[in-house]
Amino acid sequence: DIGPPALEVYRQLSQFLLVYKFAVEELMTKLRILSEEFDFVHRHDPIEHITNRVKRPEAIMEKLRRKGLEPDLDVIAEHLDDVAGVRVVCPFVSDVYGVEEMLRRQHDVKILRTKDYIASPKPNGYRSLHLIVQIPVFLSDRVEHVKVEVQMRTIAMDFWATLEHKLFYKYDDHVPADFADELASTAAIAAQLDARMESLHQRLHH
Ligand code: 0O2
């Protein structure tokens, strides 16, 4: 039984999340253009595939609770950087940085923050390049500047992160020590694979 106040809150939240969906669509288009045009000019597509998601309301509420934040739209916009997420999977490590550079050159894309877990992997072995970008979304009566978390990684990094997430999601940060060692070792193998593939790629393309 949701009365008028709850319905109004629901409407506001739906409209709020809709804008994040638009931001994701804008970014997806930008990335698809880069992928197709670069492929045409250089005969190499720097993007293997792209996925995206807008966080579900329940997951947003859960994250607010975890961070001790108020359930308020302004608080979400200000403090949650991953309401909208785009994951870009590239063939080679050089492509990850190449696509980052191409995004950086776009005047309407503002890069607010960069976390380079490729240069500095997390202790468990996780590697990826994370960008928090802000892009304008043109609505019927205003422009909103919306944050999107962009995770950029190679196929090998994606393979590792996907399986790590499946295996250890329920452990949070408390993965048993012997598992943690084995996990870090598999991440090192993925990194070696990337380095060797990169080297083959450079020999063929230069
Ligand atoms: P999910 O379920 O993928 O959405 P914050 O974003 O504030 O929570 P932080 O530390 O600033 O935290 O963000 P960071 O380090 O940039 O990581 C954010 C996201 O990167 C995570 O989102 C994961 O998607 C991914 N990520 C980070 N570390 C790991 C890791 O060790 N393994 C895997 N598989 N993914 C990782 P969420 O919200 O934690 O999870």
Amino acid at position 13, single letter = L
The distance of Cα 19 from the centroid of its chain, to the nearest Å, equals 17
Q: Are 190 and 159 in contact (CB under 8 A)?
A: yes
Ligand 1 pocket check for 116: Cβ under 6 Å: no
Residue with tokens 């916009």: 77
Give the model's pLDDT for residue 40.
98
Give the model's pLDDT for residue 2.
60
Q: What is the 69 CA–ligand 1 centroid distance (Å)?
A: 18
37 CB-near residues (< 8 Å, 6+ apart):
none
Q: Is 88 helix (H, G, I), strand (E, B) or coil?
A: strand
Ligand 1 pocket check for 130: Cβ under 6 Å: yes
* Interface predicted TM-score (ipTM): 0.91
Question: Given 3.40.605.10, 3.40.630.30, 3.30.460.10, 3.40.50.300, which CATH number is that of 4-205?
Answer: 3.30.460.10
CA dihedral 23, 24, 26, 31 (to 10 degrees): 140
Query: Cα–Cα distance between 59 and 77 in angstroms, integer?
Result: 15
21, with CB counted inside 10 A (0-12, 13-18, 19+), is middle
Q: What is the 41 CA–ligand 1 centroid distance (Å)?
A: 34
8 catalytic per annotation: no
Ligand 1 pocket check for 164: Cβ under 6 Å: yes
Query: Cα–Cα distance between 19 and 2 in angstroms, integer?
Result: 24
User: Domains of the chain: which residue ranges?
Assistant: 4-205
Locate 133 and state its tokens.
Answer: 């970008």
> Can you give the pLDDT of all 206 residues of the chain as single tens digits?
566 667 887 788 889 999 999 999 999 999 999 999 999 999 999 999 999 999 999 999 999 999 999 989 999 999 999 999 999 999 999 999 999 999 999 999 999 999 999 999 999 999 999 999 999 999 999 999 999 999 999 999 999 999 999 988 767 667 788 888 999 999 999 999 999 999 999 999 87
Name the catalytic one among 36, 101, 149, 164.
149
Q: What is the 65 CA–ligand 1 centroid distance (Å)?
A: 16
